[in-house]
Amino acid sequence: MQFSPDFPLVIWRLSDGKAGHDKQSRGLAQALSRHVATKILEVRVNSPLKSLIAWTLGRYPPGAGLPAPHLLIGAGHDTHPALLAARRARGGRTVVLMRPSLPLRLFDLCLIPAHDQPPARPNVIATRGALNTVRPSRQHEAGLGLILVGGPSGHYHWDSQRIAQQIAQVIHQTPAVRWRLTTSRRTPADFLNAMQRADLPNLEIVPFDATPPGWLEAELARAGQAWVTEDSVSMVYEALTAGCAVGLLRLPRQGDSRVARGVEQLIRDNWVTPFEAWRPEQPLLAAPEGFDEAERCARRILEKWFA
């Protein structure tokens, strides 16, 4: 099938309004647009109950008036019934990101992180981490470093003091690097207050709510190395996708979660350097060159349905 500006690949990107989910679906849609002409339409989903009712009636009001989709992409549980309702009403192929809450067989394609142990099925692609909007970069500067801080999660016990001590040690032992630190929505206020009071002259702090759209992607494209708290798995994979050398700021695990096991697999594969193994005179580890899961999945989709 040939796509052109006059006949683009129409993508409905179903959104539940959550930034993390939108980043995944946007990353895949953008990757597709780098290969063929696309028309990407964001469609906000209704509640799962309303989507279920729409499915039973064979219609999908949120997409009324839009051109019929070739692809329907969604991330997040609220998008799952919406994907099915939209496909029944308007056609197209459904692509769900992360393991869905509904049976896998209901979707045309499921892109599921390997740490969720997806089954081997024709409609399943296992991914290394979640997809994102970051692109691999060749513009990294050895003198620039980025520190990405998460916060309390269901997989790790958060410890602001422990993270602050690790960051201080990294900064003190790399005086030639200009460091920039940013937080996330989960970062506790006590951590940010402690870091702002610390005497770290080669550190600039940019809280997440002070970062404009695209700030993280631009910083990752330039930073030669990035330290990330291990609870922030999505940011770990964003840094790896950008091609940064990556260090892990360590936290105590909270039980034996699949997410934590996935982080440990990165360590075993020598993709990241855990803080306890770091030596200032040795470079941090990085992902293999060309690691870009959104790009890989986009190519698979085009080969599968639109070759």
> Residues 246-293: pLDDT tens digits?
999 999 999 888 899 999 999 999 999 999 999 999 999 999 999 999
Per the CB < 8 A criterion, the answer to whether 214 and 134 are in contact is no
What pLDDT does 160 receive?
Answer: 94
CA distances from 252 to 52, 78, 153, 244 (A): 40, 31, 11, 24
Task: Tell me, yes or no, whether 247 and 265 share the same domain.
Answer: yes
Residue 91: domain span: 9-133+293-305
- β-strand partners of 93: 71
- Looking at residue 116, the DSSP 8-state letter turns out to be G
What SS3 class is residue 39? strand
- Secondary structure, 3-state, 51-72: HHHHHHHCCCHHHCCCCCCCEE
Question: To the nearest whole number, what is the mean pLDDT of the chain?
Answer: 96
Report the predicted TM-score, pTM, of the whole model to 2 decimal places. 0.94
Q: Does residue 164 lie within any of the structural domains?
A: yes
Residue 295 pLDDT exceeds 90 = yes
What pLDDT does 2 receive?
Answer: 84
CATH of the domain at 159: 3.40.50.2000
Task: Tell me, yes or no, whether 153 and 239 share the same domain.
Answer: yes
Task: Tell me, yes or no, whether 122 and 174 share the same domain.
Answer: no
Task: Tell me, yes or no, whether 204 and 272 share the same domain.
Answer: yes
Q: Does residue 197 lie within any of the structural domains?
A: yes
C-alpha 131 chain-centroid distance = 5
Residue 1 pLDDT exceeds 80 = no
- Phi, then psi, of 96 in degrees rounded to 5: -105, 135
The total number of structural domains that make up the chain: 2
Task: Tell me, yes or no, whether 120 and 223 share the same domain.
Answer: no
Distance CA 206, CA 221 (A): 17
Task: Tell me, yes or no, whether 153 and 271 share the same domain.
Answer: yes
Task: Tell me, yes or no, whether 191 and 215 share the same domain.
Answer: yes
What pLDDT does 196 receive?
Answer: 83
CA distances from 98 to 102, 114, 157, 217 (A): 11, 10, 24, 22
Q: Does residue 81 lie within any of the structural domains?
A: yes
Residue 111 pLDDT exceeds 80 = yes
Model confidence at 201, pLDDT cuts 50, 70, 90, reads: confident
- β-strand partners of 180: 146, 204
What pLDDT does 128 receive?
Answer: 96
Residue 38 pLDDT exceeds 90 = yes
pLDDT single digits (tens) 47-71: 999 999 999 999 999 999 999 999 9
- Phi, then psi, of 83 in degrees rounded to 5: -60, -45
Model confidence at 202, pLDDT cuts 50, 70, 90, reads: very high
Model confidence at 197, pLDDT cuts 50, 70, 90, reads: confident
Q: Does residue 3 lie within any of the structural domains?
A: no
Task: Tell me, yes or no, whether 264 and 191 share the same domain.
Answer: yes
Q: Does residue 227 lie within any of the structural domains?
A: yes
Task: Tell me, yes or no, whether 89 and 164 share the same domain.
Answer: no
Q: Does residue 297 lie within any of the structural domains?
A: yes
Q: Around 5, how many Cα atoms within 13 Å sit in the side-chain half-sphere? A: 0
**In 87-183, at which residue ranges do the beta strands (DSSP E only) sit?**
93-97, 109-113, 124-127, 141-148, 178-182
What pLDDT does 22 receive?
Answer: 97
Distance CA 52, CA 80 (A): 10
Task: Tell me, yes or no, whether 88 and 193 share the same domain.
Answer: no
Q: Does residue 218 lie within any of the structural domains?
A: yes
Task: Tell me, yes or no, whether 116 and 162 share the same domain.
Answer: no
Distance CA 14, CA 46 (A): 10
CA distances from 19 to 146, 148, 166, 185, 213 (A): 21, 17, 28, 11, 11
Task: Tell me, yes or no, whether 49 and 176 share the same domain.
Answer: no
Q: How many other C-beta atoms lie within 10 A of the C-beta of residue 277?
A: 13
Q: Does residue 267 lie within any of the structural domains?
A: yes
Sign of the torsion angle spanned by Cα atoms 275, 223, 267, 125: positive
Amino acid identity of residue 275, one-letter, is F
